[in-house]
């Protein structure tokens, strides 16, 4: 069984939870003997033939920050890691626009429902330009490969997924880690909704990371219920032994994530305000960037609480680990969170988590405080209770670590592998 896996993120190219989820999932699939041909955005026509579990850790570091790589001239290093390289050229210089439109007509017999994709492939928004480049890359690679299943992760990979399905006739899986409803906290971008809708409609199976997201898929995208499968994310323990490295004497309460409406940073700030009114023995830190960053920064400063509320800015992978290892309490007050993998990571460092009920992760963990994202009062009183009862905090921390150690990807991978078989057998 071989899956052609299209994803926008995979370590070391990573900006959010998607990359970590794909990583854990792919590793577990490899352990089950599923082979994965992985295509991530790249300036060179390159894919990764992953056959053994350790291959998932072998992506060259040149993918860490694609914007910093010179587009031409710098070849992918560590050739032995890239077992099958096809000829090298810069996708930005392919006449992708014209070619793709023809391709669409040729291979995806004109179903009127696919029509919007034509216009999005010629859209000049930078995001869509990136999608266009990725689409050209993925199709060129797919045409030369042999695979049984096309597995796409989130909307940016749906267009190539649909086209490759047209070319190869292989079954298409659309994996939903987040929808535009979650990201935008409102109606969102119509173009992205369209791509999501057409992607889900064209897919043979739609995988949802939570019951919560499955409801959205069912209600908002009108996907036929028999096509939907729920596959909860898990968490990959990178190191067996995680050490707690405190930064402050006071308990540290952490928010990590994009500072956008979806993640509820403003609720976190309100919670901090309430807690600090009653308790000095505590510190708050917010890590991440986003369009609400300035607003939150000025409001946090106006609390007039000195260094009690700090900002960590954008954090690289190992820096995230450093902050989590210093965290006593981790708060994820997301307004809408399809899954939300960071609380699991925080738990692995022994942080006690307070998570929004509107998240997929709330469906899989037991030892977390589950709250309504707007319930500032509840979150404040949980934090106050924990920091005033160190014994309770320690006990909760221990339980968190224990629980997350049990949450492994095996179960998810088994489900996915069964779905592949199901599709391969034409069921």
Partner 1 sequence: MLHLIFYFQVHQPYRLQPYRFIHIGKNHNYFDDELNRKIFEKVSDKCYIPANNLLWDLINQFAGRFKVSLSLTGTFVEQARQYRPDVLASFRRLAQQGGVEFLGETYYHSLACLFDENEFLEQVRMHSRLMEEEFGTRPVTFRNTELVYGDRISGLVSELPQFKLILTEGADKILNWRSPLYAYKSYSQRHLLLLKYYRLSDDIAFRFSDRAWTEYPLTAGKFVDWILKLPLVEKKKKNLYLNLFMDYETLGEHQWSETGIFEFIKHLPEYVLKRDFVSFSWPSEVMDSLNYEPEALSIPTPISWADTERDLSAWLSNSLQWNAVKTCYNILRRIKESERPDLLEVARKLSTSDISYYMCTKYFQDGDVHKYFSPYSSPEDIYIYYMNVLADVEKRLEDGI
User: Which spans of this chain sit near partner 1 (rule: CB under 8 A)?
Assistant: 247-249, 285, 287, 293-294, 297-299, 301-307, 310-313, 315, 319, 322-323
Least distance to partner 1 from the beta carbon of 293, Å?
A: 8
Least distance to partner 1 from the beta carbon of 296, Å?
A: 10
Least distance to partner 1 from the beta carbon of 263, Å?
A: 18
Least distance to partner 1 from the beta carbon of 253, Å?
A: 13
Least distance to partner 1 from the beta carbon of 389, Å?
A: 22
Name which of 186 and 304 has its Cβ closer to partner 1: 304
Least distance to partner 1 from the beta carbon of 268, Å?
A: 15
Name which of 64 and 108 has its Cβ closer to partner 1: 64
Name which of 55 and 321 has its Cβ closer to partner 1: 321
Name which of 324 and 407 has its Cβ closer to partner 1: 324
Three-state helix/strand/coil letters over the chain:
CEEEEECCCECCECCCHHHHHHHHHHHHHHHCCCEEEEECCCCECCCEEECCHHHHHCCCHHHCCHHHCCCCCCCCCCHHHCCCCCCCCEHHHCCHHHHHHHHHHHHCCCCHHHHHHHHHHCCCCHHHHHHHHHHHHHHHHHHHCCCCEEEEECHHHHHHHHHHHHHHCCCEEEEECCCHHHHHCCCCCHHHHHHHHHHHHHCCEEEECCHHHHHHHHHHCCCCHHHEEECCCCCCCCCCCCCCCCCCCCCEEEEECCCCHHHCHHHHHHHHHHHHHHCCCCEEEEECCCCCHHHHHHHHHHCCCHHHEEEEECCCHHHHHHHHHHCCEEEECCCCECCCCHHHHHHHCCCEEEEECCECHHHHCCCCEEECCCCHHHHHHHHHHHHHCHHHHHHHHHHHHHHHHHCCCHHHHHHHHHHHHHHHCCC
Name which of 319 and 377 has its Cβ closer to partner 1: 319
Name which of 157 and 325 has its Cβ closer to partner 1: 325
Least distance to partner 1 from the beta carbon of 152, Å?
A: 35
Name which of 162 and 326 has its Cβ closer to partner 1: 326
């Amino acid at each position: 069984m071989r899956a052609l896996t299209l994803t926008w993120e995979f370590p070391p190219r990573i900006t959010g939870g998607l990359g970590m989820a794909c990583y854990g999932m792919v590793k577990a699939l490899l352990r089950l003997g599923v082979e994965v041909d992985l295509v991530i955005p790249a300036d060179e026509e390159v894919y990764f033939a992953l056959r053994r579990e350790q291959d998932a850790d072998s992506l060259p570091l040149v993918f860490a920050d694609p914007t910093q790589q010179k587009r031409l001239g710098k070849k992918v290093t560590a050739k032995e890691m890239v077992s099958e390289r096809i000829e090298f050229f810069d996708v930005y210089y392919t006449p992708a626009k014209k070619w793709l439109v023809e391709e669409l007509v040729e291979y995806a017999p004109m179903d009127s429902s696919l029509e919007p994709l034509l216009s999005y492939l010629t859209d000049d928004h930078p995001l869509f330009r990136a999608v266009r480049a990725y689409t050209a890359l993925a199709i060129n690679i797919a045409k030369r490969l042999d695979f049984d299943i096309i597995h796409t992760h989130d909307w940016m990979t749906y267009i190539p997924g649909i086209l490759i399905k047209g070319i190869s006739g292989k079954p298409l899986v659309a994996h939903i880690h987040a929808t535009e409803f979650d990201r935008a906290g409102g109606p969102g971008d119509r173009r992205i909704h369209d791509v999501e809708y057409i992607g889900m409609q064209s897919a043979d199976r739609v995988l949802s990371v939570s019951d919560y997201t499955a409801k959205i898929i069912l209600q908002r995208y009108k996907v036929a219920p028999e096509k939907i499968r729920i596959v909860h994310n898990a968490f990959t323990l990178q190191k067996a032994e995680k050490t707690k490295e405190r930064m402050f004497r006071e308990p540290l309460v952490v928010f990590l994530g994009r500072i956008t409406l979806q993640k509820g940073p403003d609720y976190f700030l309100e919670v901090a305000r309430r807690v600090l009114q009653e308790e000095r023995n505590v510190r708050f830190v917010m890590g991440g960037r986003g369009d609400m960053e300035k607003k939150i920064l000025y409001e946090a400063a106006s609390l007039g609480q000195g260094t009690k509320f700090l900002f960590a800015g954008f954090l690289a992978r190992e820096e995230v680990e450093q902050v989590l290892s210093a965290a006593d309490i981790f708060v994820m007050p997301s307004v809408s969170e399809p899954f939300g993998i960071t609380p699991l990571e925080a738990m692995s460092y022994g942080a006690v988590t307070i998570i929004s009920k509107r998240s997929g992760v709330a469906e899989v963990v037991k030892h977390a405080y589950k709250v309504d994202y707007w319930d500032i009062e509840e979150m404040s009183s949980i934090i106050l209770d924990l920091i005033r009862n160190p014994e309770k905090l320690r006990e909760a921390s221990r339980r968190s670590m224990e629980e997350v150690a049990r949450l492994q990807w095996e179960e998810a991978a088994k489900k996915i592998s069964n779905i592949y078989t199901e599709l391969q057998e034409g069921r």
